[in-house]
Structure 1
Amino acid sequence: MPLEHPEKLFAEWKAVYGDIIFLRLFNTPTVVLNTQSAAKELLERRGTKYSNRPNAVWMTEMLKWDANAGTMQAGETHRKHRRWAQAPLFDKASLEKFLPVQIREMYTLLGSLLKDPEDFAAHFHRFSGSVLLDALYGHSVSAKDDRYLALIDKALDGVTGVSAPGAALVDFIPILQHIPSWFPGAWWKRLALETRIALKESSEKTYLLAESTDDDKYSIVGSLIREHKENGTLVSEAYEIKMFGTTMYVAGTDTTKTVMQSFILAMVLHPEVFLKAQKEMDNVVGHDRLPTIDDRGSLPYLECVLKETYRWAPPIPVGIPHATSEDDEYRGYYIPKGTTIIPNIWLMLRDPEEYPEPDSFIPDRFWGLSSAESDRIDPKNLVFGYGRRICPGRRFADISVWLAAANIVATFDIHKARDGTGKEITPVIEFESGLSSPPVPFKCSIKPRSQQSVELIMNVL
């Protein structure tokens, strides 16, 4: 299996082998699911058999990150971590506790885009990271060189460095973990050591940060610490709470910034879409205030634009692999216990029967649908995972994305950048390969729509 964009090779194989492909990655039986129907049948309806994760030597042995809810096997510990995440991040009343944080960091994002628009990718990274640092640990980021942001991002860089399915060969050939770090080509051994140190340091220091936060300052990790301290179980649970916080940060930061970068790329390439979204915004919100989450139901076209962004550029193209916990049979095919299951989300969202002209960015494909039909083809039902492994923070992440996109639409104009001769620079439609898949770096022009837009932004900073 190629390490670069495996989703595209799987798409080629579908034409030859069909929507379900069996292959063997070294000694690991692997099934690739190329259609939504196959993925829903196996990963949702038969979730009891398909909720495990593949062997994760890189995470558990090399990084010593065994208490990672994303890679741990199904069972009581995993269910406990999901409860820890879902309680504050899924219920509407709980989500409202974090809305002031998301709004504050969105205002900071607008100010950063106003001051230094060329560095928009870094601003999105700070936005997503700052929101999570506050929600998880109660820490408000006041500068882009915040030491906690830098500390945990160092760990994030190492984790995502080899996290595409198949990229960490040690997961498929475990004996590789024993080769010395000086061995030619063993750069990943040195990366593992550096990342292991960064993970330990960041998890411990952010834990202490949450522990020292005032009781009246709500945070997810802080509330877990207080709860288990009151129950007398903190000593036995402290390690898992540390790892839980780091897992939530890593899982949420990269995907949110990826979606926002893809949104900007789509708007640069499709100015007619951005203009239509701005007209809707002007009709609903006007020019005298910034949009709030209460406006969301009144901005249906913007909702279509964001759905199309998720579809056109899914942040995790091949999802997070599942694994079977027992033998199964599907369409006459035998699927043994321990089989890795890879959902090719990228290809599912390019099914021409569901999404005509799939390579084109067409938000209107979601316009005017019935509630049932809209829900049936909503890309957000795929990009956040399946079944018992679906992302518990998906509503929180979606609110962050909507707030950022809506306020950018309201206050900025986005166009192609121009070179020294004044000629427009058209970005290439190309995405990085890895667990997450942001656009390759590109240039664009982001300018305030008017002096009134500038004043609106300055008034909230």
Structure 2
Amino acid sequence: MPFSITILDVILALVGLALLRRLTSRTPAPYPPGPKGLPLIGNLLDIPSEQPWKTVADWGELYGDIVYINVLGNPFVFLNSPQAAADMLDKKSVIYSDRPTLTFATELAGYGKTVPLTQFGEEVRAMRRLLHSYMGTHIRAHKLSPMAEYETKGFLRRILNDPDQFDEAIRRTAGGIILQITYGYEPKDHGDPLIELISRAMEHLATMTVPGAFLVDVIPTLKYIPAWFPGAQFKRIASEAAQCLHDSVETPLNHVKEQMATGAARPSFTSRCLGGQGVTAEQEYIIKWAAAGMYGGGADTTVSSINTFFLSMMVYPDVQKKAQAEIDAIIGNGRLPCLTDMERLPYVEALVKEVFRWHPVIPLCVPHSPKEDDIHDGYLIPKGAAVVTNIWGFLHDPKIYANPMAFNPERFLGSHPEQDPREYCFGFGRRVCPGRHFAYSSVWLSCAMSLAVFTIAKPTDASGHLIEPVVDFTSKAISHPIPFKCSITPRSDATRLLILAEDEGK
């Protein structure tokens, strides 16, 4: 029989080498507790493919706030309490601000240049400084509100005209808001090529950052296998993702440059940054990747939050009615809510906080990684480990939130409100989301304006029977409600006319 090498042979050899290296090395302290793994593969079979944050939360109940697993020689550390996250990622941010090497995403697909995944250093600092100067505070985020309000009024009109396509309207609006402030680009109402392009790039990102999604992430040397090798189809997928990312970064940048050359560029983050004298190639690199980070951090995540809002309003109609009663009493029906009304609508703001808590957009936060070995609470956190905060677990901990599975905005009201979920769901330390204030404002606008003019209800079948929605969520890094149908109708003739009048005045 002729001798042949398969990808399985390569994997077994590499795993054996990793295990031998681990067995012959000594550690200065024990690893944190966690589920016992199997020889060679470690805890590979313990990580579920569906909603792993729930399993991680269960591990927290068994093993404590800090849980350790090893997958084919690669260490993972899961943090199951806000205190553990703060102690490590905030107080020790000098150590814990790197990202683990996700070979597929960062090297093969090129996403290592993006703000969320690039290693912490001068480049990411420069990107974050640009983003902070544009949208990093409440005041700066509110200065961008006219663009968000403009797009959200169009969102109401698109739903009024075609309520069955509300998911497409949400995606178009979220993309439109970010493209306006980032590139001064106003997309088409339907089938805009730039939104479709960038959405594909974000879909790739959401897929490739799920822990264990690609074997090359746990056995990095597989990246050297040629694309023609049996079982190396991941190389083709990575090549497609890399091209999509390149196009989604360069296409809008070139649009801004062309508009600036003709004097037709609209005010935007990119035009402002490129407008200075003598922008160098290095500076343009920082600008274009910071701009790409704005879209990546604000579009798909916002889509998830607003879809969660519509799902929760359908399932919890009493909450919807309370919010609408507050809007009617404070705003009336002569205009739409705007961001300056936020403090005057405490129940609506509590509702939006509950949207963020009930199902966080990124249930398992993008991993941090220590740049050196760290002894924390007597345990070794090894250099390069993937340190993952279980945001979903934080926000569903019954010790922090009473009856956490229920959608209850009133938990954030009264003299003893529960913890604001924004303290958790936008990340920790030096990698906290730089656009968090604008992201929250955009979601608040969509929720408040939709509540003012629409009734959101369960749909009916051909016989008039209610269709009960399935409340469930996808398992990707950016998690969405699974597709659902929804009945969305104007609350009255007056609100219908208000939508049309506001749309005409945009």
Scaled by the length of structure 2, what TM-score is found?
0.86
* Amino acid paired to 1:292: C
> Equivalent residue for 1:61?
107
Partner Cα separation in structure 2 for residue 247 and residue 32 of structure 1: 25
Larger radius of gyration: 2
For residue 341 of structure 1, give the secondary structure of its aligned residue in structure 2: strand
Residue 348 of structure 1 corresponds to which residue in structure 2? 394
Separation (CA, whole Å) in 1 of partners of 2:85 and 2:56: 15
Determine the C-alpha separation between the residues in 2 that align with 1:11 and 1:65: 29
% same residue: 38
For structure 1, the residue ranges without an aligned partner over 5 or more in a row are: none
Q: Of 108, 117, 120, which residue of structure 2 is paired with 1:74?
A: 120
1:298 alignment partner in structure 2: 344
TM-fit CA distance, 1:160:
2.2
Residue identity in the other structure for 1:104: Y
Compute the displacement of 1:333 (Å): 1.1
Deviation of 1:111 after TM superposition, in Å, equals: 0.6
Match in the other structure for 1:201: 247
Of the three residues 269, 277, 288, the one matched with 1:220 is: 269
Deviation by residue 1:134-187 (Cα, 9 ceiling, x = unmatched): 111111123322222222223222222322133233222112223344556544
Describe the shift of the 1:102–1:112 C-alpha distance in structure 2 as closer, same or farther (beyond 3 A): same
1:311 shift after superposition = 1.0
Check whether the contact 2:132–2:434 (CA below 8 A) recurs between aligned residues. Answer: yes
Length, aligned pairs only: 454
- Report the equivalent of 1:45: 91
* 2-structure distance, mates of 1:369, 1:204: 50
- Indicate yes or no: 2:501 matched with 1:453: no
What's the offset of the Cα at 1:252? 1.3
Mark the runs of 5 or more structure 2 residues left unpaired by the alignment: 1-46
Q: Which residue of 2 aligns with 1:363?
A: 409
Determine if the alignment matches structure 1 residue 437 to structure 2 residue 479.
yes
Equivalent residues of 1:58, 1:171 under 8 A apart: yes
2:467 equivalent in structure 1: 425
Q: Which moved more, 1:89-98 or 1:204-213?
A: 89-98
SS in 2 for 1:218: coil
* 1:254 is the counterpart of 2:300: yes
For 1:187 and 1:262, locate their aligned partners in 2 and report how far apart those are by CA, in whole Å: 34
- Look up the match of 2:314: 268
Alignment partner, residue 391 of structure 1 = 433
2: CA distance, partners of 1:209 / 1:158: 23
Instruction: Measure the CA separation in 1 of the matches of 2:141 and 2:257.
Output: 21
Which position in structure 1 is the counterpart of 2:4?
A: none
Q: Distance in 2 between matches of 1:35 and 1:93?
A: 31
Query: What CA distance in whole angstroms lies between the structure 2 residues aligned with 1:120 and 1:5?
Result: 25
Partner of 1:275: helix, strand, or coil? Answer: helix
Write the letter of the residue equivalent to 1:325: K
> Aligned to 1:329, which of 375, 378, 401?
375
| Aligned-pair CA distance for 1:54 | 0.5
**1-structure distance, mates of 2:420, 2:415:** 11
Q: Is the 1:67–1:240 Cα contact (8 Å) retained in structure 2?
A: no
Q: For residue 274 of structure 2, what is the amino acid of its counterpart?
A: I
Confirm or deny: 8 A CA contact 1:327 1:336 kept in the other structure: yes
Q: Please report how far the alpha carbon of residue 40 of structure 1 lies from its aligned counterpart in structure 2 after TM superposition.
A: 1.0
Match of 1:319 in 2: 365
Q: Structure 2 matches for 1:149-160, cutoff 5 A? A: 149-160=195-206
- For each residue in 1:181-239, what CA deviation from the matched residue of structure 2 results, as whole angstroms up to 9, or x when unmatched? 45565443322211211211221121111223346732111222222xx1x34223323
Match of 1:405 among 444, 447, 450: 447
Q: Which amino acid aligns with 2:212?
A: G
Q: Could you say what secondary structure the match of 2:380 adopts?
A: strand
Counterpart code for 1:123? A
Q: SS at the partner of 1:424?
A: coil
CA drift of 1:392 comes to: 0.1
Partner AA of 1:226 in structure 2: G
Are residues 1:192 and 2:238 paired? yes
